[in-house]
Structure 1
Amino acid sequence: MSRKIIMPGGSGFLGTSLANYLVKLGYEVVILTRQPSSTKNHIRYVHWDGQTLGDWQKEIEGSYAIINFTGKSVNCIYTKKNKENILSSRINSVKILHESIKNCSNPPEVFIQAASLAIYGDTIDECDENGAHGTGFSVEVCEKWEEVFFEFNHEKTRQLCLRIGFALGKEGGALEPLLKLAKLNLGGTIGTGKQYISWIHIDDLNEMFLHAIDNNQYSGVYNATGPNPVTNKSFMETVRKVLGKGWSPNVPTPIVKFGSFFVMKTAPELALTGRKCVPKRFLNNGFSFKYENLEKALHEIIHE
């Protein structure tokens, strides 16, 4: 059996962490990137443009799995152009990967799409994989993304979609700016603080990907998040506690909106909305979490 894993768009925080994890387990990892082809830390980087067939498709033939991370970052201001790029980058990559699989005489055993919990919108109701979808731009992107992913079925390639939560890890990711603020004694509650954060330690997320790759029972949609989501208020309190910081002033919603647009150059909804998601299907499949407690997870990331 081939041990080659293809990771389109895998040069970001999540992809790099997973690639390093898989290499340590003995897998061959190939990351498809818009950068020039190269090899670094036992990982091969192969150039592609994310929307047309090219020499990169030779990597798909005979591979074990594809894990697609491709998509313009949502950490930006939602201008018309950025919205178009956010959607098209996701849709185009899924379509061309489907085409590449169809062209294979020996296709990969599994095609995994890294998606988002944002499909559930802004809600405090608990959401498992059957939860109602929300409304708004982010939800529409997620729906169209998944629709394109599942509209093609491959006879020999299992397909599943992981809706990923707020991944916590070292050296990057969404946690990094929050830690910087907290270290400056600016780690207070954001907005109302009632919005939920469905968090997961990066080690558990990597293990989820491994389970999805290696177990034929996995197919369809899964929430890839931890079992214990918390409110923003509780999350920031725990961050301050682990850092040894005391009380920090709350950041009112108008200030968050102003800072998002003019300082962080990003959409304020990323900080002001949330969802309370649980990984029901992973739990039903017997998945065991290493980090179920937020304080323990943050302590490992910050101090170990």
Structure 2
Amino acid sequence: MRILVTGATGLIGRQLCGFLAQQFKVTALTRNVDNAQALFGRKVTCISTLETINFDTIDVVVNLAGEPIAEKRWSTKQKHLITESRINITQQLVTKITQATTPPHTFISGSAIGFYGRQNSLITIDETFNDYNPEFSHHLCNEWEQTARRAESRNTRVCVLRTGIVLSQDAGALTKMLPAFKLCLGGKMADGQQMMSWIHIDDMVNIILHLVNNQHLSGTFNATAPNPVSNQEFTKILASTLSRPAVLPMPKIVLRLLFGEMADLLIYGQTVIPKKLLDSQFSFRFSHLDKALANLLR
């Protein structure tokens, strides 16, 4: 099977390409071919433009490209960059797929649980939930998803992944939290009641492989572990895993001063459940946070 991956050097892409290359022929789209080739070695073919790809020869496209959403404050310019970096590459892929004579049979495209917007922690959200909060994260993900779905045809199925907080020892949210917790400076954020719908990086990669291998599956999938936790519980489990106290909370006003509107990602959350994955018999290796953090940090 021949698979094209965009966003190949990102948090998920790095792990995914190395994993898929053990079984399939993988081509990675990246802005820096030399760095990516050094990262993956000969197992992965790295390219910098889609023009070098004949989409008649590709079986699966996995689209993970996009400007990191939590790297900088959400200025008007940064919001535009976050949006355009996702929509532009997705539209390019859709165009290539729809113009192919024998197009890829599967197009897996990223999204995020930010699609749902901020929600009451008591509301359980599966893929049928439609009472969205119309804020930036929803508008971003909605446009991203709608663009990806234009590739759908009788020859190509589309799977959209609404991904939660990806936990990895290499990058992402967890690595940003660790320094403070290791120095005994960690604590809950705001009131700590906001829900965190998380996913272990290994399960994230296996979800994508599950969708690649099960060609009867299509549509939207929540890529989160089955047991979301509150920020307060996350803080408690992380501190316990590190054998550190967690006694210094980060008040909402401080989060606003530090991060501006982007603080919404930390202050608000959603209780998201991966119903469609569970119904498809996907088996999570890490369903509970304590086991996930123990695996990553010990």
TM-score range, shorter chain: over 0.9
Quote the offset at 1:179 in angstroms. 1.3
What's the counterpart of residue 64 of structure 1?
A: 59
Q: Which amino acid aligns with 1:107?
A: P
Give 1:194's aligned amino acid: Q
> Does residue 36 in structure 1 map to residue 39 in structure 2?
no
User: Matched residues in 2 for 1:209 and 1:223: separation?
Assistant: 12
Query: Taking every aligned residue pair, what percent have the same amino acid on both sides?
Result: 30
Aligned position for 2:113: 117
Q: Distance in 1 between matches of 2:247 and 2:46?
A: 43
1 CA distance for matches of 2:110 and 2:214?
Answer: 17
Describe how 1:13-162 pairs up with structure 2 within 5 A.
Answer: 13-24=11-22, 26-36=23-33, 39=37, 40-41=40-41, 42-48=43-49, 54-55=51-52, 57-58=53-54, 60-75=55-70, 76-123=72-119, 124=121, 125-131=123-129, 132-162=131-161
Q: Distance in 2 between matches of 1:10 and 1:239?
A: 28
CA distance, structure 2, for counterparts of residue 12 and residue 65 of structure 1? 19
Which string of whole-angstrom CA distances, capped at 9 and with x for unpartnered residues, describes residues 204-249 of structure 1? 1111101101101210101011000000000011000000002321
Of 2, 5, 16, which aligns to 1:4? 2
The offset of 1:105, in angstroms, is: 2.4
1:138 Cα offset (Å) = 1.0
Unpaired stretches in structure 1, ≥5 consecutive residues: none
Q: In the alignment, what sits opposite 1:222?
A: 221
Displacement, 1:79?
A: 1.0
User: What amino acid sits opposite 1:47 in the alignment?
Assistant: S
String of CA shifts for 1:6-41, please: whole Å, max 9, x gaps.
1112211111011111123x2122111122366333
Which ranges in structure 2 are unaligned for 5 or more consecutive residues?
none
Shift of residue 187, structure 1, vs aligned partner: 1.4
SS in 2 for 1:29: strand
C-alpha distance in 2, partners of 1:192/1:96? 42
SS for the counterpart of 2:152 is coil
- Which of 291, 298, 301 is 2:296 aligned to? 301
Q: Distance in 2 between matches of 1:114 and 1:186?
A: 34
Instruction: Output the CA distance in 1 between the equivalents of 2:110 and 2:178.
Output: 25
Match of 1:198 in 2: 197
Given candidates 243, 263, 270, the residue that maps to 1:275 is 270
C-alpha distance in structure 2 between counterparts of 1:257 and 1:8, whole Å: 33
Paired letter, 2:81: N
Name the counterpart of 1:284.
279
In 2: Cα distance, 1:135 partner to 1:199 partner: 22
Moved more, 32-41 or 229-238: 32-41
Q: 2:258 corresponds to which residue?
A: 259
CA distance in structure 1 between the aligned counterparts of 2:146 and 2:101, rounded to whole angstroms = 25
- The alpha-carbon deviation at position 171 of structure 1 amounts to 1.0
CA distance in structure 1 between the aligned counterparts of 2:275 and 2:196, rounded to whole angstroms = 17
Q: Which moved more, 1:108-117 or 1:86-95?
A: 86-95
Q: Give deviations 1:72-109, integer Å, cap 9, x for gaps.
A: 11112111111111111211111110111123222211
CA distance in 1, matches of 2:297, 2:33: 33
- The alignment yields a C-alpha RMSD, in angstroms, of 1.5
Instruction: Give the aligned length.
Output: 290
**Kept after mapping to 1: 8 A contact 2:185/2:246:** no
Q: Structure 2-normalised TM-score?
A: 0.93
Q: Counterpart in 2 of 1:187?
A: 186
Q: Distance in 1 between matches of 2:150 and 2:47?
A: 27
Q: What TM-score does the superposition give when structure 1 sets the normalisation length?
A: 0.91
Distance 1:105 1:147 in 2: 23
Deviations 1:172-211 (A, max 9, x none): 1211011122112121000110111001111111111011
Equivalent residue of 1:31, what SS? strand
Supply the distance in 1 between the matched residues of 2:271 and 2:45 (Cα, whole angstroms). Answer: 37
Q: Distance in 2 between matches of 1:47 and 1:84?
A: 22
